[in-house]
Every structure is written in C-alpha cells, then in structure tokens.
Copies of this chain bind each other. A is one copy, B any other.
Amino acid sequence: MTDVVRITVSEATALLTAVFERAGASASVASCVSRALVAAESEGQIGHGFSRVADYVAQIRSGKINVDAKPILERRAPAALHVKAGHGFAYPALDVALQAGIPLAREMGVAVTTVGNSHHCGAMSIQVERIAEAGLIGVMVANAPKAIAPWGAKDAVFGTNPIAFATPVAKAPPLVIDLSLSIVARGKVMAAHKAGKSIPEGWALDRAGRSTTDAASALEGSMLPIGEAKGTALALMVEILAAALSGSAFSRDAGSFFTADGDLPNVGQTLIAIHPGGGTEFGERISDLLGYIASLEGARLPGDRRRKSIELAKSNGLSVPVHLFNQALHLAGELPQQTLQSGV
C-alpha cells in the first residue's frame, strides 16, 4: 500500500490554497480551486484531487492556465447563459455559471449555461449537487482531451466526456450521479501511471487498437467506451453539447490537462438546470423510488460510495499519498515535515 498522510479537509484546503496563491493565483481563485480539488479527493475521486496539483501549478507557470482570467457572463437568450472562462481555471467560471444559472432556471423553468474556453472541471458531482441543493434538477456534460475512438476506429476523437446528474430528494441529500463514458475514468489510468501500476484488461487499447494493461500505452492509445457503439454515440452527443454549443475546442483539438506545454485545453462545459415544479411531491417520489431500490437484495445505489467517502473524510480526515502531500508542501514553500502522522 502507498504510505498516506492523514489531514483534515480544512488543512488540505488551506495547504492547496497556499500552493495556488504562491503560484500566482488571487486569493479567491486559489480558494475556489482548492475547495474543488479537496471536495473531489473527499468523495474518493482521487483522479481529480491532489494528483492534479503539480500539473495545475506547472500549467499556471507555462501560461497554459491563465490564472488572471476573469469569467465573463453573457445572457445569450432569455433562458440561455454563457460564461467565457478565458482559458483560466474551470472552477471560478463554474461558480459564475451556477450563481447565474440557478436563479434563472427557477424563474424560467429551465436554463442552459455553457462555459467556454475552459479547463479541466474535475468532479462534476460537486457542481450538479449544488444545483440539486437549490431544489432543481441538474445535468452537466463536459468534453475533455481525446481519449475514446469512434466505434470501429483506433484513433481517439472524443474525450471520456462525462455526464453528471443530480436531483433533490425529500428529507435527504440530493441523489448525485457522475460518470465518464469510458469504462473507467481516464484519471484512474493517469493515477495508475503516476503510481507506476498496471491497469486491468478491458479498460483501454494501445495506439494500434490492441488491448493493453500498461498505463503508459493506454494513455497513448484510447479508452474503451461503455456499451461499445452506444458509448461512442453518447460521447459524440456530449461533444456537441459541451464543446460545440460552448464554442470550445473539440476533444481531438483540446490540449492535454496533464502537460505544461502544448495546445491550450480550451474545452467546454454545459449545465442544464430544470425546476421540477411546485410542491413537495417530486422530491417525495424520488425518495420512494430510492428507498425501494435500496430495499432490493444486492442493489447498488449511485452515489452511496461517494457519500460514505465524504462522511469519512469529514470525520477521519483525508488520506493523501505521502508523495502528493510532500509535493504540495514543497509547492506551498514549506519543507516536508517528518513529524506528520502517516498510516496505510
């Protein structure tokens, strides 16, 4: 097992805020990005947490992330908004998108908000959950650098192009769904690569279109989609909704989220918020449905593992791999400490 450091959520957030401030981000941007990464780490999406910190800093330094970008909000139609992320971090632009999109959806019944010229948006669960916490249904899609080949071809064209969804539930936290259209998220392959581990058969193909268990070959090749041709059809749908609708680069032209050099990612995100109508019946019916599913032997409810992970992070703190923790300390300008509690 990897040695880990146990730190609280607020310690982690403070540490990463210091990292991004030292890299040149304003206090508000640094805080926003740190909260997003720590929230992803808390819910167990380790591909969108501490493992991204060094890459983000390197991209600020190289100019691949415009740390001074100010998200610009435009109203394109009565129920349609657009946020220009200006090649800065996605998270502050998503904050603007939600702050404007949620009240607009409440007023109009539905609102679509696109975020263009954006960057890695991490765990989308966090964004759609905020929509559901405001009493609305949230749907979010994003494109990402190319990773999935059209069915039958070997060249990657689509990102893993995730879809997230959240809905209010009566007397309970929102139901949250967040999934990529590859069999596993590319972040998991990246994490395996960084940890020097192999990946299971059936996750990815190498650049020649052959099955591979080598993480590096998988990153050069393509990720296998769920449902074969159906998964690539859904990836194409997300590509159009996220990239084309937001005026951003298609996945095949999007620069890497992982390297400091090369093309800008310039990806897009689209959020749809829908008001479920007046009264409490909607949330109660969702509650009934989820209760029924939970009563079935062996049934797995989406979001259960996520919620347990968040609760564990709140009560016991985060378990951050030592090398990532020390890296963050270093980037924050502090020396790695020998006195930190470490565990499995």
- Interface residue ranges, A against B (CB under 8 Å): 76-80, 107-112, 137, 139, 149-155, 157, 163, 165, 167, 175, 177, 179, 183, 226-234, 236-237, 239-241, 244-245, 247, 250, 252, 272, 274-277, 281-282, 285-286, 289, 292-293, 296-302
Contact = CB atoms under 8 A, between A and B. Distances in A.
A323 to B, nearest CB: 30
Q: Chain A: interface secondary structure?
A: mixed
Contact of A153 (B234, B275, B299): B299
Contact of A108 (B78, B163, B231): B78
Given A229-B302, A275-B80, A300-B152, A250 B109 contact: no
Given A108-B80, A110-B112, A179-B234, A293 B167 contact: no
Contacts of A149: 296, 299
A281 B250 CA distance: 14
B298 A110 contact: no
Contacts of A108: 77-80, 108
B233 A78 contact: no
A297 B153 contact: yes
Contacts of A109: 76-80, 112
A150 B177 CA distance: 14
B234 A163 contact: yes
A154 B80 contact: no
30 contacts: A76-B109, A76-B277, A77-B107, A77-B108, A77-B275, A80-B275, A110-B112, A139-B241, A150-B293, A151-B299, A151-B300, A152-B299, A152-B300, A153-B299, A157-B293, A163-B237, A165-B237, A175-B240, A177-B233, A177-B234, A177-B237, A179-B230, A232-B302, A236-B293, A240-B286, A240-B289, A244-B286, A245-B282, A247-B281, A250-B285
A296 B157 contact: yes
Contact of A240 (B137, B157, B226): B137
A229 to B, nearest CB: 6
B231 A137 contact: no
A227 B78 CA distance: 37
Name the 4 nearest CB pairs between A and B, nearest first. A77-B109, A80-B109, A226-B227, A153-B299
